[in-house]
Structure 1
Amino acid sequence: MKEENGDLEDRSGVIVEETKSREDVFIKVEDVPEPHMCFMFGLQQALMCIGSTLSIPFILANLICAKDRSDVTAELLSISMFMCGVATLLQTTFGVRLGIVQGGSHTFIPPIVAMMSLSRWKCPEQSGSNTGNATEEFLDESWKERLREIQGNMMLASLTQVILGCTGLMGFFLKFIGPLTIAPTISLIGLSLTGVATIFNEAHWGISILTLALVVIFSQFIFWIQIPLPAFSLKQKCHVTKYPIFQLLPVMLSICISWLLCFILTQTDVLPTNSTEIAYKARTDYRHGVVDTAPWFYFPYPFKFGVPTVSAGGFVGMLAATLSSIIESVGDYFACAKISKGTPPPPHAVNRGIAMEGFSSIISGLVGAGNATTSYSGNIGAIGITKVASRRVFQYTGFILLVCGILGKFGAVLTLIPDPIIGGILTIVFGFVAAAGISTLQYIDMSSTRNLCILAVSLIVGLMVPQWLEKNPGAINTGSADLDQVLSVLLSTAMFVGGVLGLILDNTIPGTEDERGIKRWREHLVTTDKSSISEVSYELPFVTTYIRKLVCCSYFPISPTFNKEINCSCRRKSTDKIEGVDNSGFNNGIEKIEVKQTTIQVNGVTQTKL
């Protein structure tokens, strides 16, 4: 790393300016930090998703009648973390190619609960069988049979997600999506998750607030302080350089300090020793049993628990959850691009992202995870705090999670993070996601009563309907159990309700393009500036050059040269069309629009661009 004109630059081309605005992203999507820094940033993101990933295996073990089987819980935990890593690597490399962490989806929990509530799947204790005479093989086969039913229906529903992505239907719908659709969808992702953060915070509000305060102090008050740290480069060998450590690692530092405090309070028995008290979850030995039962090495493989099974009712329920997950993920893609200071993803990137999520969920079902994968909104919000959006960092995150799944003991150690620490982190990152959605409103006319009406209805109904259904679980009664299950899952998802309302109202209520913000939104799609990520961020690695030579590839919705939706609604009008613009790819259009010759440096290679 070298110091020049007050800037810090390493051999990867990452520049951190001392006077850089706190709104800027320090490490952009295409930047590649040093390996040791990638590991630190990646570990920080891995710690962020532990809370959500950890809760699903415990919930699932209870639903499949294996609540008292700690070995089953540890096994499900290893599989879940392994698949988080695999899905993250696939998404960041071949999917939407943004800094997005994939993990277990809580959206699929309601249909699983509905499936397991059927009399056929009741646990032996509930069905009245004599459990005292039940053999160990019978009990073992009992939970495996339930898990196979979950696996099969989830895989079949995820296949539908792959089809939606590969056929380009999601990219087609982007033509009708504007700021008044994106804003409530993204905002409700963060606002609807406040209950999840509260569950973790209530274990000990003091520790949660401390963790939250540390993140704010590090990232907003002392972010400018640079700490001397040892570094290595080919030119300078071993030397000392300065890093804005508080800006780049606020989450990890906050977790470590709060975790140390919890350890001290645990050793001195200041925290309750009675497991029935809620503050007991703040102890560092709260989940020590997971470490004891977790295997040293565990490698998931297909059909470990047998051949998956399917049923009509189970598939419909899983399909409803899949549709909700797709809506949430599309919103996450735009939120990630927004927080990363980049242009929104083009249709082919969205199509690949959705298809890759479905493909990863199919693999999850094959290896017995019992839960599909989806993008994690919390990790997207963390980009706004850490200012680190590098794709390579998130690939490190995927590798770390994959290793956690294979090395059972290592992954189990990460689960020892007390609940209130996780709650404090989730509180601020969920807020960042909601704020990112609200910031999208900058493109619309906020003085228009039309726009205010659409926004008001989308937000309030999106929050109100799921809350009402939670308090009245049997309120939907159409006479068809399967239809009731579908409607319950869809209407219980705040971002689905708010996003669909915003989409319908924005496309039906009369309004000019300037009033709706469509014009400014479309211009944002085809213009770039210094803080934007280049279009190459969304292209497939290694093969894009060859794909561009094949004209037929432009008809495939997941191809980087596919741009039919953008051409239909997002391009300039024919009167404004610039001669020479190549419609075969989104990136080509941007390059032709740029008329000023500039010299840029990408990964150490100097390139001249028009």
Structure 2
Amino acid sequence: MLSLPAWRCPEWTFNASLVNTSSPEFTEEWQKRIRELQGTIMVASCVQMLVGFSGLIGFLMRFIGPLTIAPTISLVALPLFDSAGNDAGNHWGIAAMTIFLIVLFSQYLKNITVPVLVYGQKKKFHTSKFHLFQVFPVLLALCISWLTCFVLTVTDALPSAPAAYGHWARTDTKGSVLSQAPWFRVPYPGQWGLPTISLAGVCGIIAGVISSMVESVGDYYACARLVGAPTPPRHAINRGIGIEGLGCLLAGAWGTGNGTTSYSENVGVLGITQVRLQVGVGCLPFWPQLEGVRKREVEVSQLTLCS
């Protein structure tokens, strides 16, 4: 939608070094785009809620199969390669190291346990084995990569010139964001102004909503298979799609600039980490009441709860 001629950024914003981001003119430029997104997302979310809560998606399940879901998810993911390639291209060495660490932790070190200090009612304080690399492969890889960039930044191994290759791998390029951000900020509906609506925007977002619903159905089935839960019934899928529409409505009202939906990448995380409820399993080594409980017993599937 924002690629339409009416919403293209003006030429005076192309050079970021010459733009005063706190000026009223620049603020209005990005806020009017957010307001347009707000209105279109809210209208499109009503369509998704209607499809979900009316049971229409359950009726259409007979036409939605693997041959429908697989191409849809692939087409949704293909445009992400541009963003991933552009971001990784800022420094291919750091990007390659991050990918290598994720694969190393999730595939080759997943069975290695790390001793951690726990407290139990019987044994009090003692050590227990914890599958750290299996539960937190992505987080560990990101932390190590960031620390590497921090060391390279402190030692000036990365160039300080913005036009030089590798500059954006420095950890101080956006340091002013944290210093200028307020400590506390309470978002509220309509914080960017009154949402606006256009027919072209609504049609574009509805097309995205349709593909999102098809993708979500595939995610539900994939999650159920990964956690060993029964096949999701139609009424559970109806509620899931309806709740996603409600989430999009709230996101549009608050002006986040995006909708809410099930994320295929999170399904992949389930397969990598084998952790179904990361909050519960992540706290397991430090939770006295859960000591001695098998890991599988606390891996609760949200799909099972919803059905």
TM over 0.5: yes
Instruction: Provide the residue aligned with 1:324 in structure 2.
Output: 211
User: What does the per-residue CA deviation read over 1:260-305, in whole Å, with 9 as the maximum and x for residues that have no partner?
Assistant: 1111111111112111234222111122122122211111111222
Instruction: Provide the residue aligned with 1:265 in structure 2.
Output: 152
Instruction: Provide the residue aligned with 2:232 in structure 1.
Output: 345
Of the candidates 538, 562, 567, which is equivalent to residue 304 of structure 2?
538
User: Residue type matched to 1:282 in 2?
Assistant: A
2-structure distance, mates of 1:346, 1:534: 17
User: Residue type matched to 2:219 in 1?
Assistant: D
Contact 1:157/1:315 (<8 A) preserved: yes
The alignment status of 1:248 with 2:138, answered yes or no, reads: no
Judged with a 3 Å threshold, the aligned counterparts in structure 2 of structure 1 residues 244 and 198 are, in CA distance, closer, same or farther, namely same
2-structure distance, mates of 1:287, 1:146: 23
Judged with a 3 Å threshold, the aligned counterparts in structure 2 of structure 1 residues 205 and 149 are, in CA distance, closer, same or farther, namely closer
2-structure distance, mates of 1:394, 1:230: 15
Contact 2:39/2:197 (<8 A) preserved: yes
Instruction: Provide the residue aligned with 1:373 in structure 2.
Output: 260
Q: What is the correspondence of 1:107-122 to structure 2 with a 5 Å cutoff?
A: 111-114=1-4, 117-118=5-6
Instruction: Provide the residue aligned with 1:446 in structure 2.
Output: none
User: Residue type matched to 1:271 in 2?
Assistant: L
Q: Give the superposition deviation at 1:219.
A: 2.3
Judged with a 3 Å threshold, the aligned counterparts in structure 2 of structure 1 residues 370 and 239 are, in CA distance, closer, same or farther, namely same
User: Residue type matched to 2:186 in 1?
Assistant: F
2-structure distance, mates of 1:140, 1:255: 32
| Contiguous gaps of at least 5 residues in structure 1 | 1-110, 127-135, 397-529, 541-559, 561-610
2-structure distance, mates of 1:187, 1:140: 36
Judged with a 3 Å threshold, the aligned counterparts in structure 2 of structure 1 residues 237 and 371 are, in CA distance, closer, same or farther, namely same
Contact 1:332/1:375 (<8 A) preserved: yes
The alignment status of 1:221 with 2:108, answered yes or no, reads: yes
Secondary structure class of the residue paired with 1:203: coil
The alignment status of 1:174 with 2:64, answered yes or no, reads: no
Judged with a 3 Å threshold, the aligned counterparts in structure 2 of structure 1 residues 163 and 241 are, in CA distance, closer, same or farther, namely same
Scaled by the length of structure 2, what TM-score is found? 0.80
Judged with a 3 Å threshold, the aligned counterparts in structure 2 of structure 1 residues 323 and 246 are, in CA distance, closer, same or farther, namely same
User: What does the per-residue CA deviation read over 1:281-336, in whole Å, with 9 as the maximum and x for residues that have no partner?
Assistant: 21111221221222111111112222222222222222222222222222222333
2-structure distance, mates of 1:268, 1:233: 45
Judged with a 3 Å threshold, the aligned counterparts in structure 2 of structure 1 residues 178 and 308 are, in CA distance, closer, same or farther, namely closer
1-structure distance, mates of 2:282, 2:104: 28
Q: Give the superposition deviation at 1:380.
A: 1.9
Scaled by the length of structure 1, what TM-score is found? 0.42
Secondary structure class of the residue paired with 1:374: coil
User: Residue type matched to 1:381 in 2?
Assistant: G
Contact 1:171/1:350 (<8 A) preserved: yes
User: Residue type matched to 1:205 in 2?
Assistant: W
Contact 2:232/2:303 (<8 A) preserved: no
Q: Give the superposition deviation at 1:213.
A: 1.7
Contact 1:186/1:332 (<8 A) preserved: no
Q: Give the superposition deviation at 1:174.
A: 1.4
Secondary structure class of the residue paired with 2:166: helix
Identity %: 42
2-structure distance, mates of 1:222, 1:140: 48
Q: Give the superposition deviation at 1:374.
A: 2.4
Q: Give the superposition deviation at 1:144.
A: 3.4
Q: Point out the structure with max Rg over C-alpha.
A: 1
Instruction: Provide the residue aligned with 2:291 in structure 1.
Output: none
Query: How many residue pairs are counted as aligned between the two chains?
Result: 285
2-structure distance, mates of 1:241, 1:255: 25
User: Residue type matched to 2:172 in 1?
Assistant: D
- Larger relative contact order (CA 8 Å, sep ≥ 6): 2
Q: What is the correspondence of 1:233-312 to structure 2 with a 5 Å cutoff?
A: 233-312=120-199
User: What does the per-residue CA deviation read over 1:524-557, in whole Å, with 9 as the maximum and x for residues that have no partner?
Assistant: xxxxxx99x99984344xxxxxxxxxxxxxxxxx
Q: Give the superposition deviation at 1:137.
A: 5.3
Judged with a 3 Å threshold, the aligned counterparts in structure 2 of structure 1 residues 300 and 182 are, in CA distance, closer, same or farther, namely same
Contact 2:216/2:262 (<8 A) preserved: yes
Of the candidates 236, 242, 245, which is equivalent to residue 358 of structure 1?
245
1-structure distance, mates of 2:169, 2:9: 33
User: Residue type matched to 2:131 in 1?
Assistant: P
Judged with a 3 Å threshold, the aligned counterparts in structure 2 of structure 1 residues 200 and 345 are, in CA distance, closer, same or farther, namely farther
1-structure distance, mates of 2:177, 2:205: 29
2-structure distance, mates of 1:184, 1:321: 14
Secondary structure class of the residue paired with 1:151: helix
Secondary structure class of the residue paired with 1:210: helix
2-structure distance, mates of 1:394, 1:190: 29
Q: Give the superposition deviation at 1:163.
A: 0.7
Q: Give the superposition deviation at 1:372.
A: 1.8
Secondary structure class of the residue paired with 1:113: coil
| Contiguous gaps of at least 5 residues in structure 2 | 14-22, 284-295
Contact 1:340/1:384 (<8 A) preserved: no
Moved over 6 A (4+): 533-536
Q: Give the superposition deviation at 1:125.
A: 5.5
Judged with a 3 Å threshold, the aligned counterparts in structure 2 of structure 1 residues 189 and 342 are, in CA distance, closer, same or farther, namely farther
Judged with a 3 Å threshold, the aligned counterparts in structure 2 of structure 1 residues 190 and 316 are, in CA distance, closer, same or farther, namely closer
Contact 1:185/1:331 (<8 A) preserved: no
Contact 2:41/2:205 (<8 A) preserved: yes
Contact 1:339/1:381 (<8 A) preserved: no
User: What does the per-residue CA deviation read over 1:342-364, in whole Å, with 9 as the maximum and x for residues that have no partner?
Assistant: 34422222212211121111111
User: Residue type matched to 1:161 in 2?
Assistant: Q
1-structure distance, mates of 2:74, 2:230: 19
